[in-house]
Amino acid sequence: MTKTLKTILLAGTFASSAGLAMAQDLPPLNSDTEVDRIDWSQLEAEFGPVPAPTEDASVGGVSKTLTNEYWRSLGIGYKNVADEYGVDFAYQAAPSEGDQLAQLSIAENMLLQGYDALLFSPQTDNNLQPALERARSQDIPVVNVNDAVIPSVEHYVGNVQRDNGVRVAQWFIENTDGGKVAVIEGQPGVFAAGQRTDGFTTTINEIDGLEVVASVPANWSREEAYNAASTILQQHPDLIGFYANNDGMALGVVEAVKAADLQEQVAVFGTDGISDAYDSIRAGDLTGTVDSFPVLTGEVAMEVALRLLDGQDLPRVVATPQALITSENIEQYSIEDTAALREMLLAE
C-alpha cells in the first residue's frame, strides 16, 4: 500500500466522530457467518414489495472495474431496477482491479454529487472505508455488494463466499479417486478471495487421498494465473485439478493446462459465472464455475437500497444465490431473463 493511500485511509478513519460511534456499535462483519441475515427470496414476504422511491431519488454504484464481465453484469442488474422505478443512477469503476486510489476517488466524488444511496463493491476490505465514514456522517445509506467486505459496513448483499470453494471441493471429492489439486487465489487482503480459498482447502484437507499442493495469488489477473498454473504444473505434473477464485483466472489456467497438453488429466474450476466461462464449459475446456448470478445480485442490491431509502430496518446481510455449473447442468442455468431465473431459483 502506498504512503498516500495509507494517509487517506487514516484520515478517513477520523472523518466523523458520529460515524465512528455508529460503527463501534457493530461488530466487524463476516458476511458469510453473520446471523443478522435474510435470504434474498424472503425479502418481499418479510418486508413487502419494493417501495416506490421519490421522484428525484438517485443512487450511485462504485465498482471494482469494468474490464471484468462480472462487474459489468452487476451494473446491468442495478440499472434494471433503477429504470423500473425511475431512479437516477450512475455506475463508475476504477480502470483496473488494483487501482484502489482511483476507486476511492470515484466514491468520494459521488458523495460530493449528492446521491441518496451508494452501492460499493470495494477492491479491498479497507480502501473505501473513508468514503463509508463520510457517507455515514451524512446519513447516506451504503450497501456493500460483493466481494470485498468493509468490516464496519451496515448492509451487505452477496453470496456466501466460502461456499464457492466448498462446492468445488465437493465436486473433486465426488468425482475423482483423489490426487493433488491447487488453488489460484485472488487478491490478498480481499474477504472473498480468502473465504473461497479457505472453503476449498479446508474441505479438501478433510478427505484422505486429496491434497492441496499449492495455493498462489494471481490478483484476479488471467495472465498471472496462466504463469502461476504453468509453474505449478511443472512442479506437479501429476496434478488433477485447479480451483481459481474467479473465472478470468480460471480461463488463464485453462490455457496453461492446454499448453502442457494435460486437458484429459486436469480439471479446472472458476467462480462468478461469466459468459466466457459458460462458453468454455460448452467447449469442453473449463470443467465448471460457481455462478453467483451477478445480474440478479445487482437487482437485489438496488432493491435493498430502495428499501433502505424508505426507512426499512433490514437485516445486515441479504444473501444471494449461487450454483455449481458443469456440462451436466449448464443449460438449466443458461437463462438471460432474470425474471425467469428468479422463478427457477425460487422453485429449487
Query: What's residue 189's pLDDT?
Result: 87
CB neighbour burial string for 159-170, b if at least 16 within 10 angstroms, e if fewer: bbbbbbbbbbbb
Query: What's residue 36's pLDDT?
Result: 98
What are the tens digits of pLDDT across the range 260-302? 999 999 999 999 999 999 999 999 999 999 999 999 999 999 9
Please, is 211 exposed, middle or buried when counting C-beta atoms within 10 Å of its C-beta (0-12, 13-18, 19+)? middle
Q: What is the mean pLDDT of each run of 10 residues along the chain (348 residues)?
A: 43 42 75 98 98 97 96 98 98 95 98 98 97 98 96 98 98 98 96 98 97 98 98 98 98 98 98 98 98 98 98 98 98 95 94
Residues 65, 62, 302, 144, CA torsion sign: positive
CB neighbour burial string for 125-156, b if at least 16 within 10 angstroms, e if fewer: bbbbbbbbbbbbbeebbbbbbbbbbbbbbbbb
Q: Where in the chain is the domain with CATH 3.40.50.2300?
A: 3-157+295-318, 161-291
Query: What's residue 85's pLDDT?
Result: 98
Query: What's residue 94's pLDDT?
Result: 96
Q: Position 203: which residue type? A: T
Query: What's residue 24's pLDDT?
Result: 54
Three cell numbers, residue 113: 454529487
How far, CA to CA in Å, does 115 sit from each of 58, 85, 265, 287? Answer: 5, 16, 52, 42
Query: What's residue 23's pLDDT?
Result: 52
Q: How far apart are CA 92 and CA 174, in angstroms?
A: 42
**What value does the mean pLDDT of the chain take?**
93
CATH for 161-291 (3.40.630.30, 3.40.50.2300, 3.40.50.300, 3.30.1390.10): 3.40.50.2300
What are the tens digits of pLDDT across the range 11-64? 444 443 444 444 557 899 999 999 999 999 999 999 999 999 999 999 999 999
Query: What's residue 25's pLDDT?
Result: 78
Q: Which CATH homologous superfamily contains domain 3-157+295-318?
A: Response regulator (3.40.50.2300)
Give first-to-last CA distance, the chain, whole Å.
44
3-state DSSP assignment of residue 269: strand
3-state DSSP assignment of residue 33: coil
Q: How far apart are CA 135 and CA 111, in angstroms?
A: 7
Q: What is the pTM of this model?
A: 0.92
Three cell numbers, residue 207: 478427505
How far, CA to CA in Å, does 328 sit from each of 61, 91, 292, 325? Answer: 35, 35, 18, 8
